A and B are shown apart, each in its own frame.
Chain A
């Protein structure tokens, strides 16, 4: 047996009372305060920097983009001569009138009307004749009358009106011809131009002409795509999470599933595009560029995020609630759907919104399934060709025409507003669910 040897004349250390006022101690306290102040300062600096970046981003986007919501129109008077137009007023009001109206020669009508502008006749947009046709469609009684109409001007005139060109530069490098400048000045001095809210931008789909291009088609495409995504990803993701958390036995297989899901969440989105291309387009022969396929592809991408966050939310519901419900004879299903799920819902909602926000801004996988198509019509259904906002931004930012610069920024604004609306809805829903008891 080992014995402890205590040296006899070992000086016994006597613990002195702590001197809180000693210089050493004071130095330590001062150092602690210094470290704290420095940390706070660094945090504040980081926050300011982040805020500055955000403010700069928003500022440039809004500065470049807000003019996209306005456009310039020119006033002309149009005489709707039925003979020259080729539309019989009697047929126009009768049955099948719409068809009769559409058969008219509106391009010719527009050219005749624009001629009155003299040397500035070419300022009128190539698509302006559509406005004239719409007028007749809305009210066939205009046939045979002369009307004063505001029609959109070409993009370069529009940009001139918005002051986007530096007129001091030589013609070759400033992006707008001397003829256009002359036409603009002529019309401006005669008071024939006005700026108004751009209903073409907010109501139409893409076009090759900047002044006729609209964001509505892409916005609608985005909305429909996300609808498909959430309709699929939310229920499937939540049910998968419930099964994994509440019912699945903990064994090698469920471990494997868990690892796979976690890995899926980290897979680059373009891979999901390839998957969508291979499965939905090539195997199932679904239509190209359709919101349905886009939504399915994005649902694949969003699903792991929903599953993971839903599992975390379900796991954070205290087990005592399950015991309580089971203890008075609730079935496992009732426990899950009447107790666990309502309590987990705010968390699930947050996760889903994060996933949806990512899907909203996703471009790469959609390019692969053909959603970069040039679509000049607003989508008619889930299987008809469409594009989405981020892809539209991408396409416009790539366009050489100068008029698309402001459209790009304006489309980004629309995208951000959509994101904001979605997040607000999420916060509203979350609070509503949280206040349920």
Chain B
């Protein structure tokens, strides 16, 4: 690996097997490392989609993955909640930790992991059930609510957090698929929030939405920042600049550069990053 990911100095970091050199001159505000990835390689059959990627994701910040299409952003993101397990041909190596615990170790329960590390997909995919059921499903299967009143509270608070309550409160029994695209995506965010996750992974959550709906989602991400560790994949650089504090740039399966968003966009270290930012390729 030629590019060393820059990493913020953190005082109260979770235990880590080995340290990554800290890039000099970067702002040092106190952040907690939520997830770490070390030397992650992903193969689809014989094809390597991800090469030796290491990164720290902090709890307080929104982390953006940017890069041209097919560079492995989604692949990497899906390592964090082991969604790649569902792809038969995918082979993941390396170490990924959540609060210092290896999520690929045999004693990690993948069902609980996915409750703790929620995911929002590229295309809004609400269940073809009522809005209420969409939210209530997760808490119910994880036993987070005993009775209907508890469930009602979870549904309302999740919808409120996702900024959807006012639009949805009078139509909780209507189908989630009958909402507009932007509403559906916020419903999916609410659904992820409902199981009380620690990390939320978003894979190009706005790519299927119009600008107004996109703005709402971005606003929502800003509000959720700090409550959950958020990782967002986007091919839209303006979006990365708007919503994230940390940005990682990927190219051809490698992570080229990782650092503060402001630095990446104004003063990138690598020429490849610079070329991408300035629109040389993409």
Contacts and interface: CB of A to CB of B under 8 A. Distances in A.
Nearest to B113: A329
A334 interface: yes
Q: Which of A321, A436, A437 has the most CB of B within 10 A?
A: A437
B195 A328 contact: yes
B88 A249 contact: yes
Nearest to A339: B127
B141 A327 contact: no
A157 interface: no
Contact of A327 (B128, B142, B177, B192): B192
B129 interface: yes
Contacts of B88: 249-250
8 contacts: A321-B127, A323-B125, A324-B126, A327-B83, A327-B192, A330-B111, A334-B141, A339-B127
A329 B113 CA distance: 7
A321 B125 contact: yes
A261 interface: no
Given A323-B121, A325-B127, 9 more contacts: A321-B127, A323-B119, A324-B121, A327-B192, A328-B195, A334-B141, A338-B141, A343-B128, A437-B128
A417 interface: no
A226 to B, nearest CB: 32
A324 B83 CA distance: 11
B130 interface: yes
Interface string A229-264: 000000000000000000001100000000000000
B130 A327 contact: no
A320 interface: yes
A220 to B, nearest CB: 40
B139 to A, nearest CB: 9
Contacts of B192: 327-328
B128 A331 contact: no
B190 to A, nearest CB: 11
Interface in A314-358: 318, 320-331, 334, 338-339, 343
Interface size class of B (residues with CB under 8 A): 20 to 34
B266 to A, nearest CB: 35
Contacts of A324: 121, 125-127, 188, 191
A329 to B, nearest CB: 4
A323 B195 contact: no
A338 B128 CA distance: 11
Interface in B156-197: 175, 177, 188, 191-192, 194-195
B111 A331 contact: yes
In the A-B complex, list the 5 residue pairs whose CB atoms are closest, starting with the nearest. A329-B115, A320-B125, A329-B114, A327-B119, A328-B138
A437 B125 contact: no
A326 to B, nearest CB: 6
Contacts of A331: 111
Interface string B108-140: 000111110011110101111110000001100
B83 A326 contact: yes
Given A326-B114, A327-B118, A343-B128, A320 B191 contact: no
B86 interface: yes
Interface centre among B111, B130, B192 (most CB of A within 10 A): B111
Contacts of A338: 137, 141
Interface string A86-118: 000000000000000000000000000000000
A229 to B, nearest CB: 31
B123 A329 contact: no
Contacts of B113: 329
Nearest to A343: B128
Contacts of A250: 88
A171 to B, nearest CB: 73
B84 to A, nearest CB: 11
Contact of A437 (B83, B129, B137, B141): B129
A330 B83 contact: no
Contacts of B81: 327
Given A323-B83, A334-B141, A437-B130, A328 B125 contact: no
Interface in A59-83: none
A323 B82 CA distance: 12
Contact of A328 (B123, B128, B129, B137): B137
Given A325-B127, A437-B177, A320 B138 contact: no
Nearest to A317: B128
A53 B112 CA distance: 62
Contacts of B86: 322-323, 326
Given A323-B125, A343-B128, A437-B177, A328 B118 contact: yes
Contacts of A249: 88
Contacts of A318: 125
Contact of B175 (A323, A334, A437): A437
Nearest to A251: B88
Contacts of B121: 320, 323-324, 327
A328 B83 contact: no
Contacts of B142: 329
A320 B129 CA distance: 14
A329 B111 CA distance: 4
A328 B115 contact: yes
Nearest to B176: A437
A409 B194 CA distance: 63
Contacts of B130: 437
